[in-house]
């Protein structure tokens, strides 16, 4: 709890412009995050036996030189492909998935959110986001040594891949995290306010949480498991979306007018592209072309399939029909739930997580959504927030020694607490900072479109275009 309070104090430093970091670095040799490949070397000459112990001690040899990391072309090729696949998840995947679910008068504006997120976050990431996320810094935030990617040469490595490739691979994660939020604010947010929000949010919310988990920060040091972004991406974006939905208020006519999706064909195509792209999202997080990547792919596929089936069955029982939109939503739920565990669980664990995730996320977009009374337009919180929370907690339950070897948790209850600590810290930090950012923007320029503009539709009112 102390660390969570210290983490929240970081918001004051980030928004106030002063650099009064909450805590010094825990150690100069912090445990590497799950998203960084570390090459270990073993010197067999250090092994002794009884005969060698009885022999006269030779002169002390010079310490062997440490083996330098080497570029692996196979690993590099896989991460090049994975980077393209993760970007595919946002443009065109998420753009189509969200675009098909809104009313016709808002389809271009909704798709523009994903497209512009890719443009804006690409710039914020290379300018300052990467160094805040992966700079050495302290337990809560990276330093500014790599601002504008300073010092990253073509020869610099992260594990066995070029660091510059790691930069853009992680950039695609930042992009889709921001784009997921747009599902909660669809059909009523000013475009200018949206651009201002994602510019600030990607720097002061996404980058610090990334550092906590993957950049050698305090959650990594505590042993939190997040293979590909359960906390960093999904809980973070889902909570931010929920807060934004509350602050924007409900869409005009909600509950009185039809809000039916205008083109579910686009949504199914988008969901399919997201599913395929998720192979790069989870498989690429192994940072190598290896068995870990292969297992991440198979558990990703199994969890998505299991969740889609569980969702369809649940929907059939409760509503009498299994919808196509339900199947697509269920698959996405399974993909979200397995993300933090993709490198840690067996196929059996993935099957169980997918079945649980499909049912719980269905509850998240129905009963929980009604209880929260927030107009989360396209269920960003119900799918990503709820799914991320479920996945993070179940990772502790299903983390397997068969997959992780000596790195597997030995005390499930302790690991559950560590996972819950990460969930609560992410929720608190993301919620508070999102509220502050939106409040400031609302005071400066307003965040919601005028009533007449909302009735007209965002395509015409914000962009001067429409789909005929």
**Domain span including residue 373:** 69-463
Q: In sequence order, which residues have a C-beta less than 8 Å from that of residue 331 and are 6 or more positions away? A: 271, 275, 304, 305, 307, 308
Show the tokens assigned to 28: 């100069």
Q: Which pTM does this prediction carry?
A: 0.85
Among 408, 390, 389, 325, CA closest to 352: 390
Assess if residue 6 is contained within a domain: no
Alpha carbon distance, N-terminus to C-terminus of the chain: 54
Using the structure block, give the residue that is written with the tokens 């504008």.
Answer: 148
Orientation angle between helical segments 73-88 and 163-185, nearest 10 degrees: 20
Task: Output the pLDDT for position 61.
Answer: 52
Task: Output the pLDDT for position 69.
Answer: 80
Orientation angle between helical segments 236-248 and 163-185, nearest 10 degrees: 30
For 56, other C-beta atoms within 10 Å of its C-beta total 4
Print pLDDT tens along the chain (468 aa): 455 545 545 444 444 443 333 333 333 333 344 344 433 434 433 343 333 333 444 445 555 555 678 999 999 999 999 999 999 999 999 999 999 999 999 999 999 999 999 999 999 999 999 999 999 989 999 999 999 999 999 999 999 999 999 999 999 999 999 999 999 999 999 999 999 999 999 999 999 999 999 999 999 999 999 999 999 999 999 999 999 999 999 999 898 988 999 999 999 999 999 999 999 999 999 999 999 999 999 999 999 999 999 999 999 999 999 999 999 999 999 999 999 999 999 999 999 999 999 999 999 999 999 999 999 999 999 999 999 999 999 999 999 999 999 999 999 999 999 999 999 999 999 999 999 999 999 999 999 999 999 999 999 999 999 998
Alpha-carbon distances, residue 461 vs 358, 377, 406, 464 (angstroms): 37, 19, 58, 6
Among 222, 32, 210, 216, CA closest to 139: 216
Q: In sequence order, which residues have a C-beta less than 8 Å from that of residue 249 and are 6 or more positions away? A: 188, 375, 448
Among 100, 103, 156, CA closest to 130: 156
Helix ranges (DSSP H) in 256-381: 264-278, 291-319, 324-338, 347-365, 367-372, 380
Assess if residue 73 is contained within a domain: yes
Assess if residue 213 is contained within a domain: yes
Assess if residue 214 is contained within a domain: yes
**Residue 25 — φ and ψ, nearest 5°?**
-55, 140
Does the N-terminal peptide bond of residue 92 adopt cis geometry, omega within 30 degrees of 0? yes
Assess if residue 453 is contained within a domain: yes
Tell me, what CATH number does 247's domain have? 1.10.3430.10
Assess if residue 8 is contained within a domain: no
Show the tokens assigned to 373: 């009374």
The domain total for the chain is 1
Q: In sequence order, which residues have a C-beta less than 8 Å from that of residue 23 and are 6 or more positions away? A: 6, 138, 139, 140, 218
Q: What is the 3-state secondary structure (H, E, C) of 214-245?
A: HCCCHHHHHCCCCCCCHHHHHHHHHHHHHHHH
Output b/e per residue, 65-77; b: 16+ Cβ within 10 A. Answer: eeeeeeebeebbe
Using the structure block, give the residue that is written with the tokens 């906590």.
Answer: 212
Report d(CA 392, CA 413) in Å as an integer. 14
Assess if residue 304 is contained within a domain: yes
Assess if residue 245 is contained within a domain: yes
Among 456, 453, 467, CA closest to 192: 453
Task: Output the pLDDT for position 38.
Answer: 38
Output b/e per residue, 368-401; b: 16+ Cβ within 10 A. Answer: bbeeeebbbbbbbbbbbbbbbbbbbbbbbbbbbe
Report d(CA 342, CA 344) in Å as an integer. 6
Report d(CA 314, CA 308) in Å as an integer. 10
């Amino acid at each position: 709890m102390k660390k969570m309070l210290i983490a929240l104090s970081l918001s004051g430093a980030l928004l106030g412009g002063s650099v009064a970091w909450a805590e010094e670095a825990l150690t100069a040799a912090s445990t590497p995050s799950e998203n960084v490949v570390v090459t270990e070397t073993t010197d067999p000459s250090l092994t002794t036996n009884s005969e060698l112990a009885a022999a006269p001690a030779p002169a002390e040899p010079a310490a062997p030189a440490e083996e330098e990391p080497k570029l692996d072309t196979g690993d590099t090729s896989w991460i090049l492909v994975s980077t393209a696949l993760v970007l595919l998840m946002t443009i065109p995947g998420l753009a189509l998935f969200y675009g098909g679910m809104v009313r016709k008068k808002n389809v271009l504006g909704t798709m523009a959110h994903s497209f512009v997120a890719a443009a804006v976050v690409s710039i914020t990431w290379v300018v300052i986001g990467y160094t805040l996320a992966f700079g050495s810094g302290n337990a809560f935030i990276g330093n500014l040594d790599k601002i504008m990617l300073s010092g990253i040469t073509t020869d610099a490595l992260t594990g066995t891949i070029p660091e510059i490739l790691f930069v853009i691979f992680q950039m695609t994660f930042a992009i889709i995290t921001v784009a997921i939020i747009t599902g909660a604010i669809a059909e009523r947010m000013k475009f200018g306010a949206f651009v201002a929000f994602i510019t600030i949010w990607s720097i002061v919310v996404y980058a610090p949480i990334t550092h906590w988990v993957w950049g050698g920060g305090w959650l990594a040091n505590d042993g939190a498991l997040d293979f590909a972004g359960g906390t960093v991406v999904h809980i973070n974006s889902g909570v931010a979306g929920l807060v934004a939905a509350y602050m924007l208020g409900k869409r005009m006519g909600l509950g009185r007018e039809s809000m039916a999706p205008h083109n579910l064909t686009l949504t199914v195509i988008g969901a399919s592209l997201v599913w395929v792209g998720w192979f790069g999202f989870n498989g690429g997080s192994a940072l190598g072309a290896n068995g870990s990547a292969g297992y991440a792919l198979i558990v990703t596929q199994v969890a998505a399939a299991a969740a889609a089936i569980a969702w369809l069955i649940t929907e059939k029982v409760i509503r009498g029909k299994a919808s196509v939109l339900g199947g697509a939503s269920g698959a996405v739920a399974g993909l979200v739930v397995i993300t933090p565990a993709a490198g840690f669980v067996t196929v059996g664990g993935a099957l169980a997580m997918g079945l649980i995730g499909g049912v719980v996320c269905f509850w998240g977009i129905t009963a929980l959504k009604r209880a929260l009374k927030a107009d989360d337009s396209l269920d960003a919180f119900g799918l990503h927030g709820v799914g991320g929370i479920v996945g993070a907690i179940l990772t502790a339950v299903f983390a397997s020694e068969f997959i992780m070897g000596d790195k597997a948790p030995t005390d499930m209850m302790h690991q559950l607490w560590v996972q819950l600590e990460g969930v609560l810290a992410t929720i608190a930090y993301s919620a508070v900072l999102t509220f502050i950012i939106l409040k400031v923007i609302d005071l400066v320029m307003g965040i919601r479109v005028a009533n007449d503009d909302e009735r007209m539709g965002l395509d015409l009112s914000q962009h001067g275009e429409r789909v005929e």
